[in-house]
Structure 1
Amino acid sequence: MSTDPRPLSPQVLVKTPAGRALLFEYRVGEGLPPHTHAGQAVVVAVLRGRLRLSVDGREHEVPAGEVLHLQTSGLFSSRALEDGTRVLVTLLDLG
């Protein structure tokens, strides 16, 4: 298990005025602390491994192959449940 709970910086796949696509690589236990995506639609696709995603205090366990589409001004956080978890996050600005 990593001693640093944050993953390495994500790879930025696309960045436009309308949003961006980010590829995260997690080790077990790594994740992102609570943060917001107000004014954005968020698409989370788990490509490999498993991710625990907390949105507005509700926990979602997302295995590889599943995609979640979320829109809220509340808090998001994440934690990898397996080594090698790979997650594609697409942020689309709504404004």
Structure 2
Amino acid sequence: MEKISKKEYQQFNEEHFMKKILFRHGQSVVFTLSFRPGQQLPPHRHPGSHLYLTVLEGGGTLTIDGSDTDIVKGDAVHCEGEEEFSFHNTGAESAVLYVMLNDIPDERYAQNI
């Protein structure tokens, strides 16, 4: 068993969003993405993967294949790896996403930012 406090992984940077790895086992990785207001995750794909996310704090606009959806604390989302994915914290408070990526496409997706 492994136990951690998610709060320890909710770190912020004034210049860009932060990604902190919580767990990595085999081809799965779990991490937090933390955003100050106005920060965003650029559009990208996760080829051959499945991405699951839950909004822990705040919210913003999730864009999947060019379609915008507002998400808020408590929302959960599943994305196929071929779908183009981005997030923009459009709110006035910080946002934190809890993300699980299965079948990691390559090591770039399993690193802290």
Q: Indicate whether the TM-score tops 0.5.
A: yes
* Equivalent residue runs for 1:38-77 within 5 Å: 38-77=47-86
After superposition, the C-alpha distances for 1:1-47 in whole angstroms (9 at most, x for unaligned) are x974x313x11001122210111111111111111111111111001
Contact 1:19 1:93 in 2 (8 A): yes
How many residue pairs align between the two structures? 92
Q: Partner of 1:16 in structure 2? A: 25
Q: Partner of 1:28 in structure 2? A: 37
Bigger radius of gyration: 2
Q: TM-score normalized by structure 2? A: 0.72
Q: Confirm whether residue 88 of structure 1 aligns to residue 95 of structure 2.
A: no
Consecutive unaligned residues in structure 2, runs of 5 or more = 1-12, 106-113
Residue 58 (structure 1) shift: 1.1
Task: State the identity %.
Answer: 24
Change (3 A) 1:12 1:94: closer
Consecutive unaligned residues in structure 1, runs of 5 or more = none
Residue 64 (structure 1) shift: 0.3
Aligned structure 1 segments of 4 or more residues deviating by more than 6 angstroms: none
Change (3 A) 1:13 1:3: closer
Q: Secondary structure at the match of 2:100?
A: strand
Give the partner amino acid of 1:90: M
What is the RMSD computed on CA atoms of the aligned residues?
2.1
The CA distance in 1 between the partners of 2:14 and 2:27, in whole Å, is 35
Higher helix share: 2
Higher strand share: 1
Give the partner amino acid of 1:19: S
